[in-house]
Amino acid sequence: MFTTSLLSIIMIVAPMAPVPKERADAEKVVGTWKLVKSSLERDDEVALTIELTQGGKMTIRHSSNGVTTVYEGEYKIVKNEMPYSVKLPNGVEKKETLKIKKLTETELHVVDPDGIQEDFERVKPEKKKD
């Protein structure tokens, strides 16, 4: 009887345990983000989006003057940092770690190793028309 009661309590309490922050952030960052502000002056014609998947894959789309370049890579979330690597068009692999300054359901603010802050907003998925 005691074992059954203990098991029942564990089954009720276990799902209520808090999700570790690192795992919660890793889940929260998944999605598509568009650059809305940068401390580095950029041309207004430049658009940058980042797609982060659950499996740690990332796709960066950089559009400038009507030309879009796509970079594929990987990322992970480690505390308040996002180390990532991407392959550049010339075949060179770029690796760096971004510091996450703010992460909410709708905002992602990061600072790169050069101190450049970039603020992103989540792109809402378009509703499919039937």
Domain boundaries, the chain: 20-122
Question: Computed over its alpha carbons, how large is the radius of gyration of the chain?
Answer: 19
Cβ contact 62:69 at 8 Å: yes
43-50 own/partner pairs: CB under 8 Å, 24+ apart: 49/123, 50/120
Return d(Cα 10, Cα 28) in angstroms, integer.
Answer: 27
Q: Given this model, what pLDDT does residue 6 score?
A: 44
The DSSP bridge partners found for residue 85 are 74, 95
Tens digit of each residue's pLDDT, the chain (130 residues): 444 454 444 445 445 555 556 668 789 999 999 999 999 887 667 899 999 999 999 999 999 888 999 999 999 999 999 999 999 888 899 999 999 999 999 999 999 999 999 999 999 877 766 5
Report the CATH fold assignment for 20-122. Answer: Lipocalin (2.40.128)
Tokens of 120: 């992103």
